[in-house]
Amino acid sequence: MFRQILRAARFDPKLYEEVANDPAAIIQAAAIVLLSTLAFGLGMRNGLYFNKPYLTILGWSLLYHVVSWAALGLLMYVIRLRRTKEPISLVATFNGIGFAYLPGTLYVFMSLGGEFIPLLVNALALVGMTVGLTMAFRKTTDIAGGLAFLLAVAAVVMLVDMRQQLLEWLVL
């Protein structure tokens, strides 16, 4: 598992093909989403929202990550069906998205505080997720790189909006 995590951190494009074809990789993808959930919860709790109960922040982070993982996995699944008419496992789409969440583990560094560090960490994590999602979209849906990038950018914008909406609704 650690080799695959390192490959995901290097944005190895072959990794996304491999995990799409490996039904057992769903456990690893879920573990990465959980790590991202914990990192985000810790970063938010110790950084921007230190006055909120930790279970509230962690529950919000878990809800956000699971809902966004499911939404993007289903989106990839529908795109693949519409584009190629070839059946693909729903698990394959979740695997690719799960591995693309690895840059979300950087969110733990938001706890270092200040004004600049949380912004920098958020930017780095979102750029990393955009790259990972581009590869996941490209390898799982079999679309061109430019279109995969545009979809990834749209997905990250959707994720940021979803995160903000859930944050306002559940935490603030």
Mean pLDDT of 99-109: 92
Q: Please give the biggest Cα pair distance in the chain.
A: 50
Mean pLDDT of 20-44: 89
Amino acid, single-letter form, for residue 92: A
What pLDDT was estimated at residue 128?
Answer: 95
In this structure, the number of other CB atoms found within 10 A of the CB of residue 102 comes to 24
Rounded alpha-carbon distances, angstroms, from residue 122 to 80, 106, 108, 129: 30, 8, 10, 10
Give the tokens for residue 12: 């190895």
Residue with the bigger pLDDT between 134 and 52: it is 134
Does the pLDDT of residue 51 top 80, yes or no?
no
110-133 pLDDT, tens digit each = 878 777 888 899 899 999 999 999
C-beta of residue 141 within 8 angstroms of C-beta of residue 79: yes
Its pTM stands at 0.88
Q: Binning pLDDT at 50, 70 and 90, where does residue 171 land?
A: low
Q: Binning pLDDT at 50, 70 and 90, where does residue 50 land?
A: low
Mean pLDDT of 48-74: 83
